[in-house]
């Protein structure tokens, strides 16, 4: 049977609710920062430092659960609907183990505190923030499992709505705990963490109550007795999920060390770098959402034994991703001075940020390429080789090359922050090209092994 070509509408129909949900999560962190800034410099610093530690730890753990959408999509594509319920049950056992690890790490942040050399008053606030955050870890992971299920079955709209619900409640909940509204004790920086933990539990309970009471999802048999741990299924899950988590760790730590090295150049260059880094995160959400959509569609096509359709999805996603990335990059190149002015009123910071914003335009093109390809490869359940390419590229050529170009005279005069960003652009371009080659190889291999597509 000749596969139906995947349309741009299919990709965008999945990508836009994922994108809105991701931007809502970014907005939550912005609300925390702004509201902490109204308390004191100590609270603002504590929120920034604690949120960085929390993000590094929890994103590394939740990266493992990103194995769920391609596995669910594959099972749906092959018509194994009851197996989806069994997969969810196994992911709950994994989430339980990750919850214990996450709670321990957040409540024992000593190594991170020692690296930061914090003032005692800031350290107390950071520890209070992380302790409050630990109470919401099980709920956060439970909601991530829910999100993996509904993304995997190509229904991410419910995840979007629930994420927007948390965004709508974030300000009043923050105010209640941070400022002591309604005669509650003012908890300062830790208050936004308590608000997030309570919202995590609220949205997790609402999500699963809604899922378990809707007749259309009864086919998954989620309400039956929890299956005992199936170590074979868990190992398959970890084989896909652990490399994804390690990829996140490589990405996060490379950016963290890049910021620490650039901090040696003084507050002006550090501030300019923070502007560029923030733009990277915001711009990245668009190709990431498109890549997540490709993960699901490719996984579903492979589950239905349609490798030609899977390759078609990859081609459409790559084309659309590069086109959208080019539009974003043109905006950055054209409006760099105005964008810098939005972030800072300091003339020196703005002047230092403008060339970095121009480089972010080039960085984003490579970032979009790798984001779409690495997520499409997850649809094929191929995560180990991308992890190696990503880690060696970001840590070796990216961070190592940035240190040489930015801080040493080995290849000419030290280029400062621009040297780090130049190395980052080169390394990510190489990563994107290698990922594209590997994706082409895998898609062709699957077609050669299954030359005829079959309907679901």
Give 456's pLDDT tier (boundaries 50, 70, 90).
Answer: very low
pLDDT over 60 at 455, yes or no: no
Tens digit of each residue's pLDDT (9 = 90 or more) over 270-287:
778 878 888 998 999 999
Number of Cα atoms under 13 Å in the Cβ half of residue 456: 16
Q: 3-state DSSP helix/strand/coil percent for the chain, to nearest 5?
A: 85, 0, 15
State the Cα–Cα distance between residues 325 and 173, nearest whole angstrom.
Answer: 36
How many CB atoms are located within 10 Å of the residue 334 CB?
A: 11
Tens digit of each residue's pLDDT (9 = 90 or more) over 294-322:
999 999 999 999 999 999 999 999 999 99
Using CB atoms within 10 A of its CB, is residue 204 exposed (0-12), middle (13-18) or buried (19+)? buried
**Among the residues of 179-306, which ranges form H helices?**
189-213, 231-263, 267-303
Give 450's pLDDT tier (boundaries 50, 70, 90).
Answer: low
pLDDT over 90 at 41, yes or no: no
307 contacts 376 by C-beta, under 8 angstroms: no
Give 184's pLDDT tier (boundaries 50, 70, 90).
Answer: low
State the Cα–Cα distance between residues 333 and 202, nearest whole angstrom.
Answer: 42
């Amino acid at each position: 049977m000749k596969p139906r070509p995947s349309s741009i509408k299919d990709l965008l129909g999945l990508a836009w609710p994922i994108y809105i949900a991701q931007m809502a999560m970014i907005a939550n962190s912005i609300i925390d920062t702004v509201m902490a800034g109204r308390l004191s410099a100590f609270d603002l610093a504590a929120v920034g430092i604690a949120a960085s530690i929390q993000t590094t730890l929890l994103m590394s753990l939740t990266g493992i659960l990103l194995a769920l959408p391609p596995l669910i999509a594959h099972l749906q594509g092959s018509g194994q609907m009851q197996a989806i319920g069994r997969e969810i049950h196994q992911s709950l056992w994994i989430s339980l183990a990750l919850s214990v690890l996450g709670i321990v790490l957040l409540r024992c942040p000593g190594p991170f505190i020692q690296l930061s050399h914090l003032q005692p008053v800031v350290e107390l606030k950071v520890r209070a923030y992380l302790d409050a955050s630990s109470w919401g870890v099980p709920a956060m992971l439970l909601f991530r499992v829910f999100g993996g299920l509904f993304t995997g079955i190509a229904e991410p709209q419910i995840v979007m709505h629930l994420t927007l619900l948390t965004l709508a409640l974030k300000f009043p909940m923050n105010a209640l705990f941070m400022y002591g509204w309604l005669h509650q004790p003012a908890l300062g920086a830790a208050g936004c963490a308590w608000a997030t933990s309570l919202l995590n539990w609220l949205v997790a309970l609402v999500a699963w109550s809604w899922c378990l009471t809707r007749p259309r999802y009864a086919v998954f048999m989620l309400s039956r007795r929890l299956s005992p741990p199936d170590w074979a299924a868990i190992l398959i899950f970890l084989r896909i999920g652990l490399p994804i988590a390690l990829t996140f760790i490589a990405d996060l730590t490379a950016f963290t060390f890049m910021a620490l090295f650039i901090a040696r150049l003084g507050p002006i260059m550090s501030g300019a770098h923070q502007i560029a880094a923030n733009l990277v995160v915001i711009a990245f959400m668009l190709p990431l959402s498109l890549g997540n959509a490709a993960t699901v569609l490719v996984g579903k096509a492979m589950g239905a034994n349609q490798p030609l359709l899977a390759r078609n999805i990859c081609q459409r996603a790559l084309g659309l991703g590069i086109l959208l990335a080019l539009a974003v990059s043109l905006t950055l190149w054209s409006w760099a001075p105005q964008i810098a002015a939005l972030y800072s009123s300091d003339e020196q910071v703005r002047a230092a940020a403008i060339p970095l914003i121009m480089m972010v335009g080039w960085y984003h093109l490579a970032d979009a390429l790798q984001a779409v390809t690495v997520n499409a490869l997850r649809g094929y359940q191929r995560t180990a080789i991308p992890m190696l390419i990503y880690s060696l590229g970001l840590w070796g050529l990216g961070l190592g090359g940035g240190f040489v170009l930015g801080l040493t005279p080995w290849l000419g005069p030290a280029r400062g922050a621009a040297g780090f960003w130049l190395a980052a652009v080169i390394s990510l371009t190489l990563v994107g090209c290698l990922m594209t080659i590997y994706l082409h190889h895998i898609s062709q291999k699957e077609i050669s092994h299954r030359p005829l597509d079959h309907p679901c």
